[in-house]
Structure formats: C-alpha cells, structure tokens
Amino acid sequence: MALLGAIVVLTYLFTPAGCVTSKTMETFLVNCSGIGYPLVPCILGSDIEQLDLSHNNIKIIQQQNFQSLTKLKILFLQFNQISEIEPESFAKNRELQYLDLSNNFLRVISALPFNHLQSLTHLDITNNRFKTANLGAKISKLQKLHTLRFGNTWLSSLNSSSLFPLRGIPLQEMYLITGELQTYEPGTLKVLQSMEKLSLDLQFGQQPQLLINIFKDIPMTTTTLQILNTDFVKYGKDIDLFFPLKKSNILSLIVQNITTDDSSTAHLFNSVLGSNMEELYLSTIKLNGIGRWNIQTVSAEKINVRKVSIIDVFDDKKDSLILLLLEPIPKNSIPDRFCKLRKLMNKNTYLEWPQNEFQQGFFWKRLKAVLNLDFHSCCILEESIKGAN
C-alpha cells in the first residue's frame, strides 16, 4: 500500500479497524464506508461478495485492487475522489452485478472499463465531472444491464449518438440528470427500446420545447415516468408541456420536488385524465398560484386513474385544496371503483354552488365557516368562482 500525502492509492485491499464484517447464510459483507480508507493492514478474504468503500479518499482504482475478489457481486465506491480507473481494474470481477461510482471525479464515461463486466445489472455514474453524455462503445458489452443512472448538472446536450451504444441492451430503468439543457436531438430516447421506468431530473432554461420533445420520445415500453427537481413556472404561462403524455403507454406518473403554477398544474391533470394513466403520485410540490385550475370535462367511464397520492403539496394546517365543480355530480354517476368518493358524496361533506343567486351569499358564509378563512381570502375565492362561471 502506498500513502502519499493526501493522495491515497489502493495497491492492496485491507480491512481497516473501522470496517464492519458480517456473514449471512448467503452473503459475505464488508463495510469500510467513511473511515478514511486505507488504514490497518488486514487482508480481505477472496470470498467477499459485497464491499462498501464509499465516503473515503480513494483517487485511483488500479488494476490489481480487486483481482483477488473474484466472487464480488456488489461494490460501492460512491462519494470518493476517483478520477481514474485503470483499463483492467475489473478484469477478474466477472460476477460483479452492482457497481456504484456516483459522486466522484470521473471526466470521460467512454474510458470506463466495462469490457469484463458481463454480469453487471446495475450501474450508477451520476454526479461525476463529465460534460458530455457520450457513453462510448464499451458500455454495449453490458448485455445484462437492467438499471442505469447517469448525468450531472454540467450536462447540457443530449443527442442520438450519446445513447446509441445502449441500443440492443435490455435496459429497463434509467435515471437521467442534466443541468440547463441547451440542445436535445429528437429521437434520442427512442433507442431505449425496452425501457420500463424513466426518471428525469432535468432543467431546461427558457426552452420548454426541449421537454415536449423528450416527452414525445418516451419509448412505448415505458409504463412509469418520474419527473424530479424541475421548475415549470419559468417556462412561461399557458404552455402545455404534458400533452405528449396522452399518447404514451405510461400507467404511473410520479412528480416530485417541482415548482408549478395554476396553468401547468391544469395541463398536468388534463393530460392524466386524457391518457391511460392509472396512478398519479405528487410529492413535495411548490404551487405558485391560488389553485384555480381549468380542468377539462371527462366522463367517468373514460377516466383510467385508480390511485392518486398527494404528499407535501399543501400544508394541512394552513392551506386547503378546493375543487370547484361547475355542474353537480349525480351520486349514481360515480363508478363503484371510486368507493371512497361515493362514500364522501353520501355524507354530503361538500358544498355545492347554488344556482339561485339569492342563496350565493349564504354559500360564502358557510364556506368561510368551514375553512375558517379571513375576509381577504374569501374574496379571492369568490372572484375565482365568478370568473369560472
């Protein structure tokens, strides 16, 4: 082992004093995470199947580092300072299935040594230092790859040549991160012919058409779409970003940690109601607006949504979600599968907008009492309803 100042070079693998070794009936595990690896000279056994070297000071992976670990199946190397991996570093690790290289200093994806990793099913290379999405021809060797996570906040361009090496790989799940995306070549995502779940952690600056083109390219095999960490407000009002989803085969839509306004929220719900989607999950949503959403009328028979989950969208101690229905809903028109809504309607726990204008003043008094609103908030709601009518 060579230790040169702040530069740590792995030459032999040891089990430092801070490592935790455990063995179950099926797996031999060694956890050396966050101990300032390497330390005490204690040679690792060749029967190790899972090794955690995350959160350390590793800068270079050399050819001989993992040669003796021929049974290694899971390797965690995230949150180090790795800037170089020698070409034959994983030559003896043909059983490796899970490799996490995220949050390191790697600059060129195409230089990573994938040649011998025919058993690899999960690869995470997110948040490294590369500025292009050129995966390189070597990644095409990973014929068992199931899940790929890649990208970073410096990535600003996606084109068909970037992802073309993935063509023919039975990839089923991908997590993609970009910075302020400047260019996207239409057709880029269509090479992912077996993709089942796609997670998009993207930024688009002032070019909403890029997001529309990406939605258009979602493979027909994709049934789950996750959208994360995006600000839809800055794209401009009255721009329908979600209409391509109506023609997709997505069944589950997951939206997390986004900023949206009334217009974008309405377009989102309209796309969900007008598509084949069965599940909608909203989590940690910042809503810039008063909650006035122009939702298109859709007959209950054509709605495929079976489950809606809303978490951290409104503060239930301060805010309320009010759905304004311009027409009354006959109780017998609600399908049996919406059992909770039928139960709610039977309890009469909602307020119906009276058609008789002489009763509308009393409506506002009841609404104010139910929601405990101040006079200013009540006036805003009144103007919204009048505008909708």
Cα angle for residues 349, 354, 355 (degrees, 5° grid): 150
Confidence of residue 351 (pLDDT cuts 50, 70, 90): low
Decide if pLDDT at 66 tops 60.
yes
Closest CA to 350 of 334, 333, 371: 371
Mean per-residue pLDDT of the chain: 81
Q: Are 260 and 234 in contact (CB under 8 A)?
A: no
Decide if pLDDT at 8 tops 60.
no
Beta carbons within 10 angstroms of residue 115's beta carbon: 13
Least confidently predicted of 12-21, 65-74, 173-182 = 12-21
Per-residue model confidence (pLDDT) at position 200: 96
pLDDT, tens digit, for every residue of 217-250? 999 999 999 999 998 887 766 789 999 999 999 9
Decide if pLDDT at 307 tops 80.
yes
For residues 113 and 237, the model is more confident at 113
Per-residue model confidence (pLDDT) at position 370: 59
Look at residue 179 and give its three-state secondary structure.
strand
Torsions phi, psi for 131 (to 5 deg): -110, -5
As a whole-number percent, the residues of the chain with pLDDT over 90 amount to 47
Rounded distance between C-alpha atoms, residue 1 and residue 340, angstroms: 65
Per-residue model confidence (pLDDT) at position 220: 95
* Cβ-Cβ contacts under 8 Å for 77 (sequence gap 6 or more): 53, 54, 58, 61, 99, 100, 101, 104
Per-residue model confidence (pLDDT) at position 80: 95
Decide if pLDDT at 346 tops 80.
no
Confidence of residue 381 (pLDDT cuts 50, 70, 90): very low
- Strands 173-180 vs 147-151: parallel, antiparallel or unpaired: parallel
Q: Are 110 and 164 in contact (CB under 8 A)?
A: no
Decide if pLDDT at 296 tops 60.
yes
Start-to-end CA span in the chain (Å): 77
Q: Are 217 and 187 in contact (CB under 8 A)?
A: yes
Bridge partners (DSSP) listed for residue 252: 224, 279
Decide if pLDDT at 98 tops 80.
yes
